[in-house]
Structure 1
Amino acid sequence: MATLADRLDHVLGVKAAEGLREHFDMQTVEDLLRHYPLRYATQGQPLTEEAPEEGQHITVMGRVTKTELRPMKNRRGSLLKVNLDTGGARPVEITFFNGDKVRYLVKDGVRAMMSGTVHWWRPDRWNLSHPDYLILPEKGDGSIENLTAVHGGGALRGLAQSAKGAGGLDVSFFEREFIPVYPSTAKVQSWDLLRCVRQVLDQLDPIDDPLPESLRAEHALLPVSDALRLIHLPEHKADIEAARGRLRFDEAMALQLVLAERRHQVEGRTAKPCPPRTDGIAAAFDKRLPFELTEGQRTVIDEISADLSRSHPMHRLLQGEVGSGKTIVALHAMLQVVDNGQQCALLAPTEVLAAQHYRSLTKMLGDLGSAGELGAAEQATKVVLVTGSMSAGQKRAALLDAVTGEAGLVIGTHALIQDNVEFFDLGMVVVDEQHRFGVEQRDALRTKAKGTASPHLLVMTATPIPRTIAMTTLGDLETSVLTQLPRGRSPITSKVVPAKVKPAWVDRAWERIREEVAEGRQAYVVCSRIGDEEENGKGKGRKAKAEEEKEGPTTHSAVDMYEMLGSGPFKDLRVGLLHGRLPADEKDSVMRAFNDAEIDVLVCTTVVEVGVDVPNATVMVIVDADRFGVSQLHQLRGRVGRGKHAGLCLLITEANPVGTAMARLEAVAGTTDGFELAVLDLRQRREGDVLGSAQSGTARSLRLLSLLDDLEVITAAQQLAREIVESDPGLKNHPGLARMMRAAVDGERLEYLAKS
């Protein structure tokens, strides 16, 4: 017998367990049982979606309806072209390269199982090339009979041979109404996983359910033991839905328990209260504002002000559309903290953005930000910048101002996190574009507060987050949203430029920039890569260089575009170049020149994606726009239209006019609603990645829970998780929930969420 906590090598044997550990990081019986089927198939039905991804390894089963033997064009031998009817809208197209050998087994009318890698050879057509295959013998009534001889090729043939007579792969299993199909690899295929699951289920002891019976009844949830069996071996369609419903709730509970524990820990900390003052720098700043704040800005300022006045640390997310005025709101909050004798740190993801923040904040503060200088205002504080590429003397002076308390506002990049950076009394941390930082980096800055106190925390993002995503990934933060744009902001028009079918439109894009420059305005040209790293083949692997020689470059680099435009369409204009590999002083110099209208056209990479504010810039051309994500495109175009003139964003692409990339660009061009685009981005990127796989190293953490569609489940789980953690921090009295929390979501993801 076996329990959920048992090691797989004890239950399945060392060889089988090693494959599961290596390819899926499975260690225990519960790890395997929570590797749920992607979908189910019956005889003659598809074992995969109609449009699988390029390179995906899939298995299909159906009946061969057509075979055609063709000679190869460039070498001896024949191809066998096969159509396999799986019950879909069109048959699956399959190609065998050893056609002369295969045609005696793969014939019209036979039923077969085939497993291989998807290759898209037209925008609307895909096939499997030389897959593994197994011929399934049939009885007179059409049912599948046991194998007496194995006919097939590749891994499926080997699997059937090893399973025949050993109880591993029971061919009669294909007579079931629903056959599970698992996420798999070329080394560990769906049927390997099925064999392991069946072996484990045959030995599984009864499971103590971590959810009380009253809760299961309230939400109509199956016991976990029933759910784990039925998700793998359902008898009816209703079994699948019921099992998914219970296991979906498990995933929501796992996430919400982590966030509830994190929230509880924050509430247990103390912070120095920073109530608003009527005679301080914040009030003086308010009086000097040359414009009127929006109603939304005032509301959020009041929310943050109330948080700062309490004796436990603020933990708030401020999200708002591009250009909605988050920086003013954050500055007001920081000044309220300075009024109470404490310091603030603003953490930016790039040196360009950090320098931009430094310039914009000192400009907005005027003599309120020049403490220690002649002519400083009575309530003034000092603003300093700390970046990794500053000279030793500059950095030493800035660090001295931070540690002595001379500087009330300290702005910087990752350099602020280093051990040698100390603060006199850090009261608040503002993290700009929080998704661009690793959790450890953010946490390191928060530990720099004085004594046992914790600093208040405000994280900002201009990438809108749908409500369910915020609840699931940032459920330990209170949320404020800015949707109004300040008065005077101009509309932005976006257009797609299909370079392949309308090459003349590209020339028109450059003309459009010239027209704006002639009116005294400025423009950006954004590229997806720098390019200078590729001179003489440096920085390229052998395979990448061979591909470029074979097919030519697929994207336009900033360096090449700068040279082409500067010597061609814009040869009489002032063209600048900005990218992340330039020395810090050169980057700052270029950005200052663009700010001061000494550069007409700035060719750049995504270093201008966030925070850069040049009101005179009215046009942005994004080259190879299909190489950028939806949210990134939305962020980039927010750099134009920031003044009194309307903005224009042109998305140049060589993507297939009828492909998904073009559809994505048309969607971006069709709306400036960031929340609508965030939902589109999530659906296209697949929900398993939404929690930030780059931060955890895992490709998929949610198996069944939909962060877009399961609001009711997430809300119920959040409420329950907070009640449980409030009464039992650490889940000492709920060991089943603690185990479920670890198993329902991958370990690295839990570690990430626990630290966030």
Structure 2
Amino acid sequence: MSSATDIISLKGVGAALALKLERLGIHTIQDLLFHLPLRYQDRTRILPIGSLRPGDECVIQGEIRASDIVMGKRRSLLCRIQDGTGTLTLRFFHFSAAQKQQLSTGKAIRCFGEVRPGPSGLEMVHPEYRASTSDDLTPVEEALTPVYPMTEGLQQNRVRSLITQALMWLETGHLPELLPESLRQRWKLPDLRDALLYLHAPPVDADQHLLLEGRHPAQRRLAFEELLAHHLTLMKLRHRVQESGAPRLPYHGQLCTPFLEQLPFSLTQAQERVSREVTADLNKAIPMLRLVQGDVGSGKTVVAALAALQAVENGFQAAVMAPTEILAEQHYINFTQWMEPLGVKIAWLAGKVKGKQRLAQLASIADGSAQIVVGTHALFQDEVRFYNLGLAVIDEQHRFGVHQRLSLREKGRDGQKTPHQLIMTATPIPRTLTMSAYADLDCSIIDELPPGRTPVSTVVIADSRRDQVIERVRAACNEGRQAYWVCTLIEESEALQCQAAEVAEATLRELLPELRIGLVHGRMKAQEKADVMQCFKSAELDLLVATTVIEVGVDVPNASVMIIENPERLGLSQLHQLRGRVGRGSVESFCVLMYHAPLSKQGRERLAVMRETTDGFKIAEKDLELRGPGEVLGTRQTGMMQFRIADLQRDGDLLERVRQVAAQLEQQPDLIEAVTRRWLGQGEEYGHV
């Protein structure tokens, strides 16, 4: 048997049990060994009844002094047991005649369960027990008892017995130790086999607090190897992308210099620094893989425009891709305004571009007359053929999948050279996530806002004060400013108690008859949405009622008030993105978070963070802490982040070490292959396109 041996080879595992284990991600003996306990029970000692406290989970032993069926609200069997130090009640709601006989007066009994306060003192409800006619009961356990993650139809004892079989195999079989001994000694990492044996059966004196927190050296050993496997896979991916080479795009300045001269503002130092990094990458014959992070309004689009012009100066095309039509259209408008005076031709491709117009755009992309192409994920489609794509700019990359990003290689000339890739995000990504989920990318941060941007004041208020909020909107609009009213659902849903956008719009029309009000939500046709947005931009509307479709890509400097209903329903990064829609002009701006009471503890924490800071990175760190990496990165990316043992928040301090070790292993392809196969299997490498 090997570690990859199918679980069905274990004694007692048939097709039905294998199906249940599959739901826990257990397919092989190795999966079973990596299915670690959530917590542990101490069944290694018998506690005196007189020492018990509510909440204790323990083993007790005594004599049954009374055993009676009691008829209350529910019929139950009550047994009173004593051990010379005190008395405890055992309560059974479900019992058979045989059990009643088994638990008769005078029997010796040993129980394990949780101690609770009851009507007549402390009690255990449905404890595990063994009863005997003598005091000669079986010995207590020698190690702590593991409690495993479960699924419906499985019992702890069944999983424990299977893991016991797997541990016996581990004792005699061969689960290879993949980390070199020198490396393990340097970082004080225990042997893999020892770590697994310890975690499934910790000794009596084990530090349970450390185990519960996931910070025991044995757990850290496994987390380290898992993080290493993910990191190595991303490194493999990076090498695969870069091995085909890319066109060199040196900086000439014929277009970039006049572009910078025509801008009505100067670049910030941060923009200049990041532009220099991008320029240096484009000058290399290997594909740039760079992530540019910048808070809302930090000027990432200008950096992208300079990169696109550098490609055009060298006779290549640039593609700019965004996840939504609203954001793509915003880029198209900006690029057209900036580039047309320079004589650069821009093409536009999105779902709503149809018929002859679409064919004309596709033809201009294919023959190279379109030098910069702006669009949505429609740019990925097979029918889109580029003449010579040299650069792909991908905005809000976490909305796409890594596979889509990789498929751009096929869009390069003859499929031979990979286009350079510049990935942008306005969702600040915590360092731990950047070092793990984006380990295949170089990272630049625009950590400075352009001068003249006004900070947004954030107010947290209960929806019981809705009237005051509506008056605030009325006052702002009467002064000539514009406002957003954001709802988190489109249709009425009593269960979620969220005000629907359509209902909110009708209500606000009644209460604010003097204002011009528009509505935008995700189920409207693209053209309808675009028309309403255009009316808002051109100040033909005072108030825009919207769902979170306006999260990115809406730039209306005159809008200075935003109301967000039920903000407790959204993640912090999403709230931060929404808030970034105001504060784009020179007028003081407000964001009102109107929550529905009562708030959960997490809801209170979230809103407090929003009120206290506008620093996107602080907000992102808190978001990661509260919601976990899968949520923060966006659902399409979560496949990358499903760790079995590691936890990015808890084990983030290991990542620097992981990076160093990955660099040391670079020349050992067999070892890299073995580590990644152990943790990610064959079918899960993100490197395969």
TM-score, length-scaled by structure 2: 0.85
Distance 1:438 1:576, change over 3 A: same
Query: What secondary structure, in the 3-state scheme, does the structure 1 residue paired with 2:649 have?
Result: coil
Distance 1:234 1:738, change over 3 A: farther
Correspondence list, 1:319-398, <5 A: 319-363=293-337, 365=338, 368-369=339-340, 377=341, 379-398=342-361
Tell me if structure 2 keeps the 8 A contact 1:78–1:100.
Answer: no
How far apart, in 1, do the equivalents of 2:75 and 2:131 lie? 29
Match of 1:754 in 2: 687
Match of 2:453 in 1: 489
How far apart, in 2, do the equivalents of 1:193 and 1:395 lie? 58
Match of 2:549 in 1: 607
Correspondence list, 1:71-90, <5 A: none
Distance 1:739 1:361, change over 3 A: same
How far apart, in 2, do the equivalents of 1:192 and 1:584 lie? 54
How far apart, in 2, do the equivalents of 1:63 and 1:358 lie? 70
How far apart, in 2, do the equivalents of 1:638 and 1:97 lie? 57
Distance 1:426 1:663, change over 3 A: same
How far apart, in 2, do the equivalents of 1:63 and 1:612 lie? 63
Q: 2:262 aligns with which of 274, 285, 288?
A: 288
Query: How much has 1:202 moved relative to structure 2?
Result: 1.4
Distance 1:413 1:238, change over 3 A: same
Q: 2:578 aligns with which of 636, 641, 656?
A: 636
Query: How much has 1:98 moved relative to structure 2?
Result: 7.0
Q: Does 1:706 align with 2:647?
A: yes
Match of 1:277 in 2: 252
Counterpart residue identity of residue 222, structure 1: P
Counterpart residue identity of residue 754, structure 1: G
Match of 1:216 in 2: 184
Counterpart residue identity of residue 194, structure 1: R
Q: Does 1:742 align with 2:677?
A: yes
Q: 2:502 aligns with which of 559, 578, 595?
A: 559
Correspondence list, 1:6-155, <5 A: 6-15=5-14, 18-43=18-43, 61-62=57-58, 111-113=111-113, 133-137=126-130, 145-146=137-138
Query: How much has 1:390 moved relative to structure 2?
Result: 2.0
Q: Does 1:415 align with 2:375?
A: no
Counterpart residue identity of residue 666, structure 1: A
Query: What secondary structure, in the 3-state scheme, does the structure 2 residue paired with 1:237 have?
Result: coil
Distance 1:220 1:269, change over 3 A: same
Q: 1:673 aligns with which of 615, 626, 636?
A: 615
Counterpart residue identity of residue 707, structure 1: L
Distance 1:193 1:559, change over 3 A: same
Match of 1:646 in 2: 588
Match of 1:719 in 2: 660
Match of 2:83 in 1: none
Match of 1:237 in 2: 206
Q: How many residues align?
A: 639
Match of 1:85 in 2: none
Counterpart residue identity of residue 351, structure 2: G
Distance 1:138 1:508, change over 3 A: farther
How far apart, in 2, do the equivalents of 1:30 and 1:594 lie? 58
Tell me if structure 1 keeps the 8 A contact 2:92–2:126.
Answer: no
Query: How much has 1:706 moved relative to structure 2?
Result: 3.3
Distance 1:180 1:694, change over 3 A: farther
Query: What secondary structure, in the 3-state scheme, does the structure 2 residue paired with 1:525 have?
Result: strand
Query: What secondary structure, in the 3-state scheme, does the structure 1 residue paired with 2:411 have?
Result: coil
Query: How much has 1:445 moved relative to structure 2?
Result: 3.2
Distance 1:386 1:242, change over 3 A: same
Distance 1:8 1:144, change over 3 A: farther
Tell me, which stretches of 5 or more residues in structure 2 are unaligned?
Answer: 46-54, 61-68, 79-89, 116-123
Query: What secondary structure, in the 3-state scheme, does the structure 1 residue paired with 2:530 have?
Result: helix
Q: 1:203 aligns with which of 169, 184, 202?
A: 169
Q: Identity, % of aligned pairs?
A: 38
Tell me, which stretches of 5 or more residues in structure 1 are unaligned?
Answer: 46-58, 82-93, 116-130, 147-171, 370-376, 535-547
Tell me if structure 1 keeps the 8 A contact 2:323–2:396.
Answer: yes
Match of 1:183 in 2: 149
How far apart, in 2, do the equivalents of 1:434 and 1:345 lie? 14
How far apart, in 2, do the equivalents of 1:628 and 1:208 lie? 45
How far apart, in 1, do the equivalents of 2:99 and 2:461 lie? 48
Query: What secondary structure, in the 3-state scheme, does the structure 2 residue paired with 1:613 have?
Result: coil
Counterpart residue identity of residue 403, structure 1: A
How far apart, in 2, do the equivalents of 1:6 and 1:100 lie? 41
Tell me if structure 2 keeps the 8 A contact 1:260–1:722.
Answer: no
Counterpart residue identity of residue 291, structure 2: L
Query: How much has 1:187 moved relative to structure 2?
Result: 1.9
Distance 1:144 1:646, change over 3 A: farther
Match of 1:617 in 2: 559
Q: 1:260 aligns with which of 214, 221, 235?
A: 235
Q: Does 1:435 align with 2:398?
A: yes
Query: How much has 1:467 moved relative to structure 2?
Result: 1.4
Tell me if structure 1 keeps the 8 A contact 2:317–2:388.
Answer: yes
Distance 1:527 1:693, change over 3 A: closer
How far apart, in 2, do the equivalents of 1:588 and 1:426 lie? 29
CA RMSD after TM alignment: 3.5
- 647-656 vs 609-618, which moves further: 647-656
How far apart, in 2, do the equivalents of 1:101 and 1:286 lie? 89
Q: Does 1:683 align with 2:631?
A: no
Distance 1:599 1:39, change over 3 A: same
TM-score, length-scaled by structure 1: 0.78
- 670-679 vs 634-643, which moves further: 670-679
Query: How much has 1:755 moved relative to structure 2?
Result: 5.0
Query: How much has 1:95 moved relative to structure 2?
Result: 11
